[in-house]
Amino acid sequence: MSATEPTKPSFQAFLDCFPPVELPFTLGEDTHLLFSRENDPIPAAIIAEYILPLEGETDTDEVTEYIACFSLPTPPAYHAIVYWKAGLLQYEYKLFTFDTRGFLIAERVIAGTTFDGAELTQTVVSIREDLLLYLVSGQKQVEYSEYAAATSTANRLQITSEGKMVEL
């Protein structure tokens, strides 16, 4: 390696961007504002090395933003982190689990807001101490001014002791 070649950030440097959170914790529509104030920005080298590959991207664009949220308290067998991704008409809290060598085990969008031009969907998640996640989603048609509770859905997700995510 030449002296001018930058060093690749370590997997531990990536994990260090995500401070631990005390559970239970709820992610809602504006929770990312707390993280953007409290957490340091994710360095560009870490976004390029770790986040863009997770997103299936090779380069950043001018409309996408990433905010480090937190790491979950997990067994020693794996690591779990959450970041917020803001794109055009789509804001997502994404949960990833990795083994101790840094290999991806599982990934899932666990909360956020999306708009497809006709329907607005918002999802919030509550994460319990036992790593059980409760996801609640609601939709609203743009042409109607009121939210219809009948369009809501609720899901439960468990993070296993191996770092897998299982629907319950």
| DSSP line for 115-147 | E-SSEEEEEEEEE-TTSEEEEEEEEEETTSSS-
Q: How many helices (H) and strands (E) does the chain have?
A: 4, 9
Distance between CA 9 and CA 57 in Å, rounded?
A: 18
Determine phi and psi for 98, rounding to 5 degrees. Answer: -135, 150
* Region 18-27 average pLDDT: 96
Single pTM value for the model: 0.90
pLDDT over 80 at 3, yes or no = no
Continuous segment of H or E residues that includes residue 38: helix 31-38
pLDDT over 90 at 41, yes or no = yes
Nearest to 73 by CA among 82, 65, 86, 83: 82
Q: What is the DSSP letter of 20?
A: B
pLDDT over 80 at 144, yes or no = no
Q: Quote the pLDDT of residue 6.
A: 73
Residue bearing tokens 């961007």: 17
Residue 118 banded pLDDT, cuts 50, 70, 90: confident
Residue bearing tokens 């409309």: 63
Average pLDDT, the chain: 91
Q: Of 42-51, 73-82, 137-146, 156-165, which gets the smallest average pLDDT?
A: 137-146
* Region 38-43 average pLDDT: 95
Distance between CA 97 and CA 100 in Å, rounded?
A: 10
* Region 114-137 average pLDDT: 93
Residue 35 banded pLDDT, cuts 50, 70, 90: very high
